[in-house]
Structure 1
Amino acid sequence: MTSLAPAARTDAVTSTAPDLSFLLDHTSHVLRTKMAAGLAEVGMTARMHCVLVKALEEERTQIQIAEIGDMDKTTMVVTVDALEKAGLAERRPSATDRRARIIAVTDAGAEMAKRTQQIVDRVHADAIGALPEEMRPVLLEALELLTRGHLATPEESPAGARRARQA
């Protein structure tokens, strides 16, 4: 009787470095799912949270907040529409540029932003809290150094690398 199991390949490629792409992508994905689950408990999304928080920081246009939150125009419009429908934000003319529309957060939206920030903070604290205490600042510092240094700017790619959306 012959075996149908494939024979082990002798020309398999062996990595000489940890699979950083997998490690960062997997942890980022799981963190986003935990964030989405937490925010869903109060009827919000990470994008909605981002818009409220960034609009509360200072007067910003829809385009400015979309850039900060890495949202395309369509996604931003849908997100602001949902916030308006929920009574959490509204589009208003800018005080400095009559052609521009800003996102103004309502009182209810400001309260929701406080609630969602608590959820975001809890999810982040739970994630970092899974590490031994002495490793927490090391991980955060290393990630900060990468995002400000070697991994600060994406490379142009003819195939186009898909970027995960951020909160």
Structure 2
Amino acid sequence: MTAMTPAPTRTRPDLSYLLDHTSHVLRTRMAAALAEIGLTARMHCVLVHALEEERTQNQLAEIGDMDKTTMVVTVDALEKAGLAERRPSRTDRRARIIAVTKKGAKVAARSQEIVDGVHEEALASFAPDDRELFLRLITHLAAGHLSTPVPSPATPARRARQRG
């Protein structure tokens, strides 16, 4: 029988776990809240970003970090619900854009209220000054040192959703 080797002593909090866990819980809360109005987070993302400016399906897929198949399924669901439609671009006849319908714009406004509410609820556990500090620091990490994944041949890094 071999003796057990003690685990190394942790000298810092497990940042990977903390970020992964809180991100996972936030996504599940977001999914539950948006499901109440029949949307997924991806559907919300497409609607909001398609309303900002004329964008192709590929551009929206890039913003929402979706592969082509997921994007097609998402847009199909939006079309079926009457929230968006594929149309020729006004500026490039070869390109097709995702256009949000009037009904879709109303749903997008409501879904944005829901998203903002979920975010506000998540931050409500902080005192106001701590909330601003946390947001400033996490934004600094996301835009700075942790803005770009390091490629790894063993496990390709999944790209985080891009800001539109």
1:129 aligns to 2:144 (yes or no): no
Q: TM-score, normalising length from structure 2?
A: 0.93
Q: Following TM superposition, by how much is the alpha carbon of 1:163 offset from its aligned partner in structure 2, in angstroms?
A: 3.1
What are the within-5 Å matches in structure 2 for residues 72-151 of structure 1?
72-151=67-146
Give unmatched runs, 5+ long, in structure 1. 1-6
1:24 aligns to 2:14 (yes or no): no
Change (3 A) 1:123 1:163: same
> 3-state DSSP class of the match of 2:48?
helix
Q: TM-score, normalising length from structure 1?
A: 0.91
What are the within-5 Å matches in structure 2 for residues 41-56 of structure 1?
41-56=36-51
Q: Following TM superposition, by how much is the alpha carbon of 1:156 offset from its aligned partner in structure 2, in angstroms?
A: 0.4
Residue equivalent to 1:62: 57
What is the identity, as a one-letter code, of the residue corresponding to 1:111? Answer: K
Contact 2:149 2:159 in 1 (8 A): no
Cα deviations by residue, 1:48-85 (Å, 9 ceiling, x for unpaired): 00000000000000000000010000000000000000
Q: Following TM superposition, by how much is the alpha carbon of 1:134 offset from its aligned partner in structure 2, in angstroms?
A: 2.1
Q: Following TM superposition, by how much is the alpha carbon of 1:132 offset from its aligned partner in structure 2, in angstroms?
A: 2.1
Cα deviations by residue, 1:27-65 (Å, 9 ceiling, x for unpaired): 000000000000000000000000000000000000000
Q: Distance in 1 between matches of 2:94 and 2:138?
A: 39
Q: Distance in 2 between matches of 1:119 and 1:12?
A: 43
Bigger Rg, structure 1 or 2 = 1
Change (3 A) 1:164 1:25: farther
Change (3 A) 1:154 1:164: closer
Give unmatched runs, 5+ long, in structure 2. none
Change (3 A) 1:164 1:122: farther
Q: Following TM superposition, by how much is the alpha carbon of 1:164 offset from its aligned partner in structure 2, in angstroms?
A: 7.7
Q: Distance in 2 between matches of 1:65 and 1:48?
A: 11
Report how many residues are paired. Answer: 161
Task: Give the alignment's Cα RMSD to 1 decimal.
Answer: 1.8
> 3-state DSSP class of the match of 2:85?
strand
Q: 1:163 aligns with which of 146, 158, 162?
A: 158
Q: Distance in 2 between matches of 1:18 and 1:9?
A: 24
